[in-house]
Amino acid sequence: MPFLVRPATEADCPAIGHIGREAFRPGIGQLMYPPLLQHRTLENVDQNSEGWPFIDEQEYQVKRARWRINNTTTVVLVDTDQPDEILGYAHWEAPRGSPYYKGPPEGEEELKPVPPTFDRARMAQIGEEFDAAAIKALGDNGYKDMWYLAVLCVHPNHQGKGVGKQILQWGMARAAEERKSVFLLGSSEGFPLYRSQGFQTIGEFQLCGLLHSRSMMLPPPFPALDPATVLDTSVVVDGQA
């Protein structure tokens, strides 16, 4: 099937939020939405609870997707035969000097309030551990001079079809144009894809003491990159069976 990688729009936020929730549910999603909080709903949570007021989980996912689009270079992948269905997406952070650079994150207050099932303390811990892993792997400057893959997500119904590879290569193509390295913090599930594209493991850690994760980097040149993906911001490519 022919795929199209295109910039995300605000209209894509509901789909991005839904895909992220479904794809990450077995792993990091269980850290952010732990089972011990799943009994809490907007109807039964005590208004005196810490964090009140709360919002619906889907509403929060849409709000978070909107914030990401505003603060990162977000792309989605669609099947050109069904362009209204998003199969996967990525949030990329481009380095300073890149035409894709969006500056330091802004509007973090927009991410409040959260759902009653969301563990804010654990989310803060995840952010701190990601930052620490990047500094340990790369030094104090971290990935500021690299293309950083913050999130790569494929809907569970479309995994194994080459969707993740094409979204990954979109960012690799931009980095290749700028002669920049690509850095990511990847899960064990994503490791085979990243390794197949030439990424090297430069560090390993246990996220929240539970999920085995890797710091991975791909320095230029990128031998696995399809040269056709370098040409355009929106790229049509052929999916895999």
140-186 tens-digit pLDDT: 999 999 999 999 999 999 999 999 999 999 999 999 999 999 999 99
What is the rounded average pLDDT for all residues in the chain? 86
- pLDDT tens-digit series, residues 64-88: 999 999 999 999 999 999 989 999 9
Q: Would the pLDDT of 240 be above 70?
A: no
Nearest to 72 by CA among 44, 41, 102, 37: 102
Mean pLDDT of 45-72: 82
**Band of the pLDDT at 38, cuts 50, 70, 90?**
confident
Measure the CA–CA gap between 222 and 220, rounded to whole angstroms: 5
Residue 228, pLDDT score? 47
The pLDDT score that the predictor gives to residue 113 is 85
Asked if 94 and 147 count as a contact pair (C-beta separation under 8 A), the reply is: yes
Q: What is the pLDDT of residue 131?
A: 93
pLDDT-derived band at 52, boundaries 50, 70, 90:
low
Higher pLDDT, 231 or 90: 90
- By the 10 Å C-beta count (0-12 exposed, 13-18 middle, 19+ buried), 47 is classed as exposed
Percent of the chain exceeding pLDDT 70 equals 87
Secondary structure in 3-state letters for the chain: CEEEEEECCHHHHHHHHHHHHHHHCCCHHHHHCCHHHCCCCCCCCCCCCCCCCCCCHHHHHHHHHHHHHHHCEEEEEEECCEEEEEEEEEEEECCCCCCCCCCCCCCHHHHCCCCCCCCHHHHHHHHHHHHHHHHHHHCCCCCCCCEEEEEEEECHHHCCCCHHHHHHHHHHHHHHHHCCCEEEEEECCCHHHHHHCCCEEEEEEEECCCEEEEEEEECCCCCCCCHHHHCCCCEEEECCC
Residues 26-42, mean pLDDT to the nearest whole number: 81
* Closest alpha carbon to 59 in 118, 127, 107: 118
In this predicted structure, what is the pLDDT of residue 143? 94
Q: Say yes or no to pLDDT of 138 above 50.
A: yes
- pLDDT digits 0-9 by tens, 114-127: 888 888 898 899 99
pTM of the model: 0.87
- What pLDDT was estimated at residue 236? 41
The full set of domains in the chain, from first to last, is 2-238 (3.40.630.30)
Band of residue 39 on the pLDDT scale cut at 50, 70, 90: confident
pLDDT tens digit string along 201-235? 999 999 988 888 999 999 877 665 554 444 344 44
